[in-house]
Structure 1
Amino acid sequence: MSWFRALLPSAGPQSMLTLITVAAAVSSGIYLSTVVLYFTRIVRISPMQVGAGLSVAGVACVVSNILVGRISDRRGPLGVLRASLFVGAVATVGFLAVDGFAMYLIVIPAAAAAQACVQLLISAMIPRVVTSRANEFRAYIRSVLNVGIAIGIGLAAVAVQWDSALVYRVAIIIAAGFLTAAVPLVAGLPVMGPAAATAEYHGDRWIALRDRPYLALTALDGVLSLQYRIQSVAIPLWIIGATAAPRWSIAAIDMVNIAIVVGFQVRASRRVVDATAAGVALRRSGWVFLIACVLLATAHGRGGWVVVLILGVGAAVLSVGELWQTAGGFEASNALAPPQDLGLYLGVFGIGLRMADAVGPALLTWLCISLGVIGWYVTGFILLAAGLLAPVVIRRVASTRDRYALVPAL
């Protein structure tokens, strides 16, 4: 394990936060890769019911992120992180007890919401654990998250290949075990009280939900986050339905994305040190996403190594855009949130990604698959428009911070 320890930050709390991230990410990778097949093939829940449950889980993620973010701000994040890890582990083990749709509707939202809350709390704790260059550590955590998810997906691939009830259940137990193992690691983090521990605050307790400039930024990030669904939904369907590319190219493209994000996320984030730089990064990502969409559109009707090359380059360009979008979104969401309400604001900011998860698959299937080449162009220009608007919206958010920051009570 010496090679793994070499990847960890030298500081104790940072190493502990990294290990918690890895554990949660491996569990998430197993969850993402097995949940649909396990419940449809083994438990025999209909695909429509599985999809409905995942939609409910998406709503649960949004609501729980907002509530947990606020609780973290007012009571401190460590207890909430322990509870989220524990609930996630129990809900994941609960998969084994599901024998119908009703039980499924209980455990899936609980597991998904717990996973989302763990990621939120890790993001909210980074500024309190890292005293300098927090943006680089956020990028490092993003890379670690991708590595962990890739490991989880690899473990889940064994279950998918065997397609056996026993192997699926072993994978589920492993996923729960990683979350359980992370619970005692929380004790290695420094004590963190409420974010507003030095003063009592008055005003709107849910001010983030009424902070219209910040909500506009959240919406723009949600539009840009459609790029994740391009990677996971539009490209595989495009390869199968509109090109003669070999099926293995789908997995190869996923590996290209993981390699680029893991290898270059920290480097891409080094100059994104304030809200202004975040706006530049988001604008740059919009242009890159447009280029990627145009490249991917040119794969239509092609075959052989030419189409593999086009798809590979297009996916690589898309991944570069992801680097800048992630760096810009991380920095803007943190820098423009009042410190005493950081958890709540990050929970609200996460709504953009959750909406992209909910709307993206259907929207991109219609645009990129049903409309074809022209739909790829439309998608690219939608992402470009969001990127171009980002610096304008960020300036607006920055100019209104005095209005939305809570004032210490006298």
Structure 2
Amino acid sequence: MPALLPDSPPQRVLAASNFVYTLGSGLYLTAGVLYFTQAVHLPAARVGLGLGAAGIVALGVGIAVGHLADRRGARGIYATTLAVQALATAGFLWADSFWLFVLAVGVAGGGKAAGSASRSPLIRHYGGARPQAFRAYLRAVTNVGISLGALAAGWVVQVGTVPAYRLLVVGNAVAFAASAVLLVRLPSVKPLAATAGPRWGALRDGPYLALTALDGVMTVQFRVLTVALPLWLVSATSAPHSLISVVVLLNTVTIVLFQVRAGRNVASPAAGGIAYRRAGVAFLVSCSLISLSAGTPAWAAVTLLVVAMVIHTIGELWHAAAGFEVSYALAPQHATGQYLGVFGLGAGLAEAVGPALLISLCITWGRPGWYVVGAMFALTGLAAPSAVRWAQRKGARPAGASPENEVAAAPVPSTVAG
């Protein structure tokens, strides 16, 4: 990363809170499902059903809590969502039946969606001239934290005992609570006064909803690395199974090193539309190369898969930078939490349907399915520039402008210590 620490104290507080939070996330993402199947002894099918139900419940929470953060102040709301996630995660220790499990993961999932939306006004307020760039920095920090958490989770999986899995849950809850405590050092932000217009403007903003849908389709690409590729590598190629760890590490390191730099080159909504288009092409190429790895010698399969993942990761950098840019730049400043909550709907739907879609097309159907998925990404990327232009026309924004430059007449949000 060009700089290890952000420039301002509030940015450093947010980064530290994010780092601690993602340490806990790395623990859970790596071994959370195993805790419920191996330690709690819930059937895998029921775990999947419960996680899917929790994901659906969480979809609408982000919009409502983001709106509340706009109106009541983001710091306290965001800290509360972290505390809720800590308590819900601790509740996993007592989730020894299916319905208690659904309740616990539902509250945790809702807290996560709410936290993402309520954090957005803080990123915008303290992110400097271009909060999108600071958001890119936080994504790099996120990958560092998740990687370290995953290393600790690897020890838990290796030990494989119930006490070890319970220690994982405790560590996750403590990380979320510590992340909330760190926010005490962050100055609070007074919300901007509501401007004239509909109360739930984000839900009536057709162009923004279209971009949300397009980003949601593109977000399915994250499940390629975590769902489709491992299953394909094991079932359809002669590559060594350990290669999946190599490509995950390659992906993570590349994002840590280059996400901030990628964000610098996407400095306007129009550039975001172009980045979406480039990402779609990159995903088409990577999916095609993955499909070709079946039925080839081990050395050829390894080469094709590594090259595919390099290209896929480049597309991921462009996709993330595009999403950061358009989601912030095309959202009114006074309704950042509400708009970013809406934008999160796309990712939530991708999380809910992406794994099943990829398994059905890429694994069950096989090689043709990879081409269909790649074409889906490419067509989505091609549609993005037009959707961005539509949003700019509707908002009467000149190309390259962002709302931050258009609210000079609006009251500037003030801060108070605390």
Q: Considering the TM-score relative to the shorter chain, is it more than 0.5? A: yes
Matched, 1:54 2:47: no
Does 2:385 correspond to 1:364? no
Aligned partner of 2:320: which letter? T
Q: Distance in 1 between matches of 2:297 and 2:113?
A: 39
Match of 1:383 in 2: 377
Match of 2:90 in 1: 93
How well do the aligned residues superpose, as a CA RMSD in angstroms? 2.0
Alignment partner of 1:327 out of 321, 324, 331: 321
Deviations 1:166-198 (A, max 9, x none): 00111111111111112221122122011x33x
Counterpart-to-counterpart distance in 2, 1:183 and 1:189: 11
Q: Spell out the pairing of 1:281-292 with structure 2 (5 A cutoff).
A: 281-292=275-286
Asked if 1:79 is matched to 2:76, the reply is yes
Is the Cα contact below 8 Å between 1:21 and 1:122 reproduced in 2?
no
In 2, the alpha carbon distance for the partners of 1:134 and 1:208 equals 20
Give the aligned residue type for 2:395. R
Deviations 1:238-261 (A, max 9, x none): 101110111101111111110111
Match of 1:346 among 340, 344, 354: 340
Q: 1:245-290: CA deviations, max 9, x gaps? A: 1110111111111011111101111121111111111111111111
Per-residue CA distance 1:46-93 (angstroms, 9 max, x = gap): 212211110122123212111111101111101111111111111111
Within 1, Cα distance between the matches of 2:363 and 2:21? 33
- How far 1:202 moved relative to its partner? 4.1
Deviations 1:107-156 (A, max 9, x none): 11111222233333333321200222323211111111111111111111
Match status 1:262 vs 2:256: yes
Q: Is the counterpart of residue 17 in structure 1 residue 14 in structure 2?
A: yes
Instruction: Give 2:142's match in structure 1, choosing from 140, 145, 163.
Output: 145
User: Is 1:32 the equivalent of 2:29?
Assistant: yes
Q: Which runs of 5+ in 1 are unaligned?
A: none
In the aligned structure 2, how far is the partner of 1:342 from the partner of 1:311?
A: 39
Instruction: Write out per-residue CA displacement over residues 14-70 of structure 1, whole angstroms, 9 at most, x where no aligned residue.
Output: 110001111111111112122211111111112122111101221232121111111
Task: Report the equivalent of 1:310.
Answer: 304
Q: In the alignment, what sits opposite 1:229?
A: 223
Task: Specify the code of the residue in structure 1 equivalent to 2:262.
Answer: A
- Structure 1 stretches of at least 4 aligned residues deviating more than 6 Å after TM superposition: 405-408
SS at match of 1:247: coil
Greater mean deviation of Cα atoms: 80-89 or 394-403: 394-403
Distance 1:176 1:304 in 2: 42
1:64 to 48, 61, 64: 61
1:7 aligned counterpart, secondary structure: coil
1:295 and 2:298 aligned: no
Q: Which runs of 5+ in 2 are unaligned?
A: 398-405, 411-418
Partner amino acid, structure 2, of 1:239: L
Structure 2 residue aligned with 1:247, among 241, 247, 258? 241
1:190 maps to amino acid = P
Matches within 5 A, 1:156-175: 156-175=153-172
Distance 2:234 2:56 in 1: 30
TM-score (norm 2): 0.92
The letter for the 1-side match of 2:6 is: P
Q: Which moved more, 1:388-397 or 1:294-303?
A: 294-303
